[in-house]
Structure 1
Amino acid sequence: MTSDGSCTPDAAAVPLLVLREGDDVAVATRDLHADEVVALPGPAPDGSVTLRVRDDVPRGHKVALADVPVGGQVRKYGQSIGVATAAVVAGDHVHAHNLGMDDAEREHELATQHHELPVPDGPRPTFRGYRRAGGKVGTRNYVAIVTSVNCSATTAKMIADQFRGFAMDAYENVDGVVALTHQSGCGLVPTSPGAQALLRTLQGYAGHANVAGVLVLGLGCEMIAVDSVVQGADVSPDTVVRTLTIQDTGGIRATVKAGVAAVREMVDEIDGRWTREECDVSELVLGLNCGGSDGYSGITANPALGLASDRLVAYGGTSALAETPEVFGAEHLLTARATSPAVAQKLLDRLDWWQGYAAQGGGSLDNNPSPGNKAGGLTTILEKSLGAVAKGGQADLAAVHEYAEPMTTPGFVFMDTPGYDPVSVTGLVAGGATVVCFTTGRGSVFGCKPTPSIKLGTNSELYARMADDIDIDCGRIVDGVATLEEVGDEIFERILAVASGELTSSEDLDVGGEEFVPWQLGTVT
């Protein structure tokens, strides 16, 4: 692999990948066995061109290239991913048994590095979207049943169930009816951070560019009232809006009847009101997320997505990274390229908050990676984060947003969210993401109506095993079948195609109605 992260054409024949010059570990591209002698991709510091593997090493895991003493830093991506908790010898399997967290203080440069992203030559790309009177452009046309409280969740699902499957076949310009239900809405202090985050989320979905019609459904006595969702949302003037409360309508049965009638009228109106039209690429808002990461995530899917993200930003679009706990240890790479010290400091402030938040729960940010991440070859949060931030490419960091806050600043931005995928993407969609790209190494079946989710597999074995759930096989980069740039271009073109109406794997399977999970913060009384 070259210094810019792209594979050479014969990469499939190389059993070890060294990501940066001076790294102490390489990544195995296949299962390796104890006492096996493998070729190095380049001469070692001592001049040797082969390495004897001392342990069985699964594909995607790390092999030591050099001896590291106890307490010594172990480098990957040219950065520390932890310290040796036992003496490491060249050829050892490096993982949780001999690698631990590096708690050394990191230096943070604030807004010291800036990258001018050139606009690619040729015609500007376009996509066929739904233009709203309020100025937003959607990639889908949904009717959303937004519930103000959990007490109305079952009723909302009963209404939406009447519009599943064949019921929508006659409507060319309506993508579906989705019930957005959650576990909160009452028992909250209305002015608390938790209540405000939930209200922002509900309002973000109600006013989303992919929502052509919204029915806000409540019980009638909850703390987050139906009217507060509608009045505070940035709803386009041409969005069809209805409200119902179960208590005022006469109970569940009467509300389902009234809700079905209302949605049927909305669907008829929406189908005749909008058709897709050509829109400039700069109108897209892309959400970046990863779930079920593995040792290949930072080598294939994430940097390839980073290239696509940079291309969108160069055209004037918006691309949003998230999952604050999963940039811990790599945040210095983001703060250095912030557009201002204030933007950089806001990211650091959010990380400080997260360290305190984790400590209150009896944990630390290094409780992440998950067991699945570790089975895939990731050991520490530092290693995971260094691979995760690659999704954001090289563009300057233009803004840092609170959870579910409207993302109104064009360019590459960051949203403060948890690392838990449904909660993270819910925040991104509430903030305005009209397309999501979701990278996975272990295998995710994630969807997120009303926004299409393009899933990018980090390795070809996963793609072969879960082809119905993965849209693009990025493992071809390591296999030597495609370059990083070629896969990055493919991702960008798929974003445009999906924005124009092409179904993603999750949409084809009708996945995404249960993944609306607002972040629950604070006291519930």
Structure 2
Amino acid sequence: MFSPTEEKALTDVTSPPTRSHVRVIRLNVDDDVVISLDQLVSGTRIESEGVTVAGLIPPGHKMATRAIEPGEAVRRYGQIIGFASQPIRAGQHVHTHNLAMGDFTRDYAYSAEAKPTALAPQVATFQGIVREDGRVATRNYIGILTSVNCSATVARAISDHFRRDIHPEALAEFPNVDGVVALTHGSGCAVDPDGEGLAILQRTLGGYACHPNFWSVLVIGLGCETNQIPKLLATQGLSDNPRLRTFTIQDTGGTTKTIAQGIELIREMLPQANQVKRETVPASHLTIGLQCGGSDGYSGISANPVLGAAVDLLVQQGGTAILSETPEIYGAEHLLTRRASTPEIGRKLVDRISWWEEYCARNGAQMNNNPSAGNKAGGLTTVLEKSLGGIAKGGSTNLNEVYEYAQPVRERGLVFMDTPGYDPISATGQVAGGANMICFTTGRGSAYGCAPSPSVKLATNSALMERQSDDMDLNCGAVLDGTNTIQALGAELFQLLLDTASGQRSRSESHGYGQNEFVPWQISVVT
């Protein structure tokens, strides 16, 4: 992602960064701002920058290191993050009150920086579940999917019967089954039967129906919905079989009978599902969905680069990482097109950016409606700034393919999937595409899980880790504290991913997250 100068700047952050009696971070020699690690008060002298603070600057926010005239570009990571909307003096807070979006030319330089990826000298392994077709699972669930919102209640009632926290006896004899989960949604009817929206929903459901982390799946409908189950199966190349059972409330005879039938079918499936055994498999069987949510000014400095370092290790093992959230790479996509394995792959990414620009325009929206309120409170000002930090999750290897939402991911290495920036929708698409794990960075404190794929969460700063430790799996704040490096924490994270893939439960799993976070992308006109 970063140029050699930017890579050195990020490395310098961990060794530790240049500091005086107050802590600030300069990421690139060409930057117009530094990032505060502590609250800066007016009159404080930043000796490393030769600047005196003018006003109050919260932790994680930006301070100008030079005078900036209205309309001038402002840089962080050595890249443009916006344009001054009013005069900014050296030492002043740089944020939404004086920094705005603007148009600028980006040099896509397709494939100019693509380079071969050296394979790791030693094979990393984990304890996975090998399915009959050779695919490898990290978990062993029984799933319940719904064709339409109208069957959500019965699906939940069936899964609740097998909840270990409510009915511990229901799965007591089946320790190798991770659980029974109902993944429901709010769509499936009153949409164009031949439109893109229904096709996306069917593709998403199809991806989950054959996901390796499910031993078996029930698909339940109402009976009269637009998203008819026979057509759903046909479009996805699926058919009823002993491990994919389908039925509707209307054909079964109502709610009570449907719930009873679902419970009975799962009881029949459990003994066989419990027969799975974990075995040693190479890390090349891991497909990780990359997510960031509740980001702050530190995300692009600590947790995202740490995740990028782990992704590089995974790719060197022959594994796969899915970078997504198209609106949150907007303005920084040129850093990916330069790493595209072929110019065609780079152009695919730019085509998806163009689609989003048109999509926003016809809906009266703008691509720069990001960051969120919480992101801004944490120090992020524009989507350009957020995008530059977000891309760091993808590490430094080539971009090998670009997929549309929920398409099956076949290519190895770093790939991109076109999704919205909203985390539950984005991760749902990644899992539908085959992600058997999710890795999620957060600076504000996200609470998230993604059944059937375990989600590992990374805190960007130590204060968050202390405050919300029961939701975080790894503290990347050590990068900011100067007590650890990006590369060392990346290696630690890679091992944590192997351990989690082997069955070690993540924090979100221990809290029971995952069922409510299934959110397929809805773009249909609802009639």
The TM-score range, normalised by the shorter chain, is over 0.9
Q: Cα deviations across residues 352-373 of structure 1 (Å, max 9, x unaligned)?
A: 1111111222221111111110
1:201 is matched by which residue type in structure 2? T
Distance in 1, matches of 2:486 and 2:238, equals 39
Distance in 1, matches of 2:42 and 2:458, equals 32
Give runs of aligned pairs for residues 37-436 of structure 1, distance below 5 A.
Answer: 37-40=45-48, 44=49, 50-121=50-121, 123-165=122-164, 166=168, 167-233=170-236, 240-272=243-275, 274-436=276-438
1:233 is displaced (CA, Å) by: 4.2
Distance in 1, matches of 2:498 and 2:110, equals 34
Equivalent of 1:31 in 22, 30, 39: 39
Distance in 1, matches of 2:406 and 2:143, equals 17
Distance in 1, matches of 2:240 and 2:180, equals 20
Q: 1:158 to 1:500 in 2, by over 3 A?
A: same
1:229 is displaced (CA, Å) by: 3.6
1:118 is displaced (CA, Å) by: 2.4
Q: 1:479 to 1:234 in 2, by over 3 A?
A: farther
Query: SS of the counterpart of 2:8?
Result: coil
Q: Cα deviations across residues 34-79 of structure 1 (Å, max 9, x unaligned)?
A: 1111332xxx5xxxxx421001100000011111111111010000
Distance in 1, matches of 2:382 and 2:213, equals 37
Q: Cα deviations across residues 306-352 of structure 1 (Å, max 9, x unaligned)?
A: 11111111111111000000000100000111111111111111111
1:231 is displaced (CA, Å) by: 4.2
1:295 is displaced (CA, Å) by: 0.3
Give runs of aligned pairs for residues 9-20 of structure 1, distance below 5 A.
Answer: 9-11=15-17, 15-20=23-28
Cα contact 1:134–1:236 (8 A) shared by 2: no
Q: Please, which moves more after superposition, 470-479 or 160-169?
A: 160-169
Cα contact 1:214–1:239 (8 A) shared by 2: no
Distance in 2, matches of 1:213 and 1:36, equals 62
Query: SS of the counterpart of 1:297?
Result: coil
Q: Which residue matches 1:522?
A: 524
Distance in 2, matches of 1:502 and 1:12, equals 38
Cα contact 1:204–1:234 (8 A) shared by 2: no
Cα contact 1:146–1:214 (8 A) shared by 2: yes
Query: SS of the counterpart of 1:80?
Result: strand
Q: Please, which moves more after superposition, 148-157 or 261-270?
A: 261-270
1:401 is displaced (CA, Å) by: 0.3
Query: SS of the counterpart of 2:400?
Result: strand
Query: SS of the counterpart of 1:3?
Result: helix
Cα contact 1:11–1:479 (8 A) shared by 2: no
Cα contact 2:18–2:25 (8 A) shared by 1: no
Q: 1:224 to 1:238 in 2, by over 3 A?
A: closer
Query: SS of the counterpart of 2:71?
Result: coil
Distance in 1, matches of 2:402 and 2:515, equals 28
1:225 is matched by which residue type in structure 2? Q
Distance in 1, matches of 2:318 and 2:237, equals 22
Cα contact 2:240–2:246 (8 A) shared by 1: no
1:113 is displaced (CA, Å) by: 1.2
Query: SS of the counterpart of 2:483?
Result: coil
Q: Which residue matches 1:47?
A: none
1:470 is matched by which residue type in structure 2? M
1:133 is matched by which residue type in structure 2? E
Cα contact 1:337–1:395 (8 A) shared by 2: yes
1:284 is displaced (CA, Å) by: 0.8
1:237 is displaced (CA, Å) by: 11
Q: Please, which moves more after superposition, 228-237 or 382-391?
A: 228-237
Cα contact 1:133–1:236 (8 A) shared by 2: no
1:481 is displaced (CA, Å) by: 1.3
Q: Cα deviations across residues 3-52 of structure 1 (Å, max 9, x unaligned)?
A: 25123444495511000111100000111111111332xxx5xxxxx421
**2:29 aligned with 1:21, yes or no?**
yes
Distance in 2, matches of 1:33 and 1:357, equals 43
Residues matched between the structures, number: 515
1:234 is displaced (CA, Å) by: 6.5
Distance in 1, matches of 2:291 and 2:242, equals 28
Q: 1:238 to 1:438 in 2, by over 3 A?
A: farther
1:169 is displaced (CA, Å) by: 3.3
Query: SS of the counterpart of 2:426?
Result: helix
Q: 1:441 to 1:316 in 2, by over 3 A?
A: same
Cα contact 1:211–1:239 (8 A) shared by 2: no
Cα contact 1:440–1:458 (8 A) shared by 2: yes
Q: 1:502 to 1:223 in 2, by over 3 A?
A: same
Distance in 1, matches of 2:304 and 2:359, equals 27
1:143 is matched by which residue type in structure 2? I
1:222 is displaced (CA, Å) by: 1.6
TM-score, length-scaled by structure 1: 0.95
1:115 is displaced (CA, Å) by: 2.8
Distance in 2, matches of 1:232 and 1:361, equals 29
Q: Cα deviations across residues 87-124 of structure 1 (Å, max 9, x unaligned)?
A: 11110110011111121222211111113332333x31
1:377 is displaced (CA, Å) by: 0.2
1:523 is matched by which residue type in structure 2? V
Distance in 1, matches of 2:112 and 2:19, equals 40
Query: SS of the counterpart of 1:313?
Result: helix
Equivalent of 2:442 in 436, 440, 443: 440
Q: Which residue matches 2:3?
A: none
1:281 is displaced (CA, Å) by: 0.6
Q: Cα deviations across residues 457-494 of structure 1 (Å, max 9, x unaligned)?
A: 11111110000001100011010111111110111011
Which runs of 5 or more structure 1 residues have no equivalent in the other structure?
Answer: 45-49
Q: 1:235 to 1:134 in 2, by over 3 A?
A: farther
